[in-house]
Amino acid sequence: MREAQDTWLPQPDLEEVDLGTVLQAVADPVRLQIVRLLDAAGEASCTSLDVPVKRSTVSHHLKILREGGVVATRLVGNARLSRLRRDDLEDRFPGLLAPILLARPPARPRTD
């Protein structure tokens, strides 16, 4: 269960994480969906994420989330498993992540 020995993709230091960047990261519908999927699954690879965009786009979003300090990615064999930096975010912006994950959809669903 020790993942500290694994190789991790570069990510910003905790105190360098900017609130606006985090908000902008999770503001995107696809990225918000990714964040929630990661929250539910704990860890997920690029292909296992069920989002309606191409793989290259998923990788792009994961990169933005990682550079924004929202997710961390470790290299396990052939896969890159990404997870939420829940504890880090909780320490940096206490109480921010929970309401985002628990938020209910608006009363008027997408009727387009």
Identify what 103 binds: its own copies, DNA, none; CB under 5 to 8 Å per kind. Answer: its own copies
Which span sits near its own copies by CB under 8 A: 27-35, 50-58, 70-78, 80-88? 27-35
Identify what 79 binds: its own copies, DNA, none; CB under 5 to 8 Å per kind. Answer: DNA
Identify what 41 binds: DNA, its own copies, none; CB under 5 to 8 Å per kind. Answer: none
Closest to 62 measured CA to CA, from 30, 23, 96: 30
45 versus 100: smaller Cβ distance to DNA = 45
Shortest reach from residue 98's CB to its own copies, in Å? 6
Count of alpha carbons within 13 angstroms of residue 83, beta-carbon side: 14
Identify what 37 binds: DNA, its own copies, none; CB under 5 to 8 Å per kind. Answer: none
44 versus 68: smaller Cβ distance to its own copies = 68
Rounded to the nearest 10 degrees, how much is the dihedral formed by the CA atoms of 93, 56, 45, 12?
Answer: -30
Residue 109 structure tokens: 């669903």
Q: What is the DSSP letter of 105?
A: P
The phi and psi torsions of 92 (rounded to 5 degrees) equal -80, -45
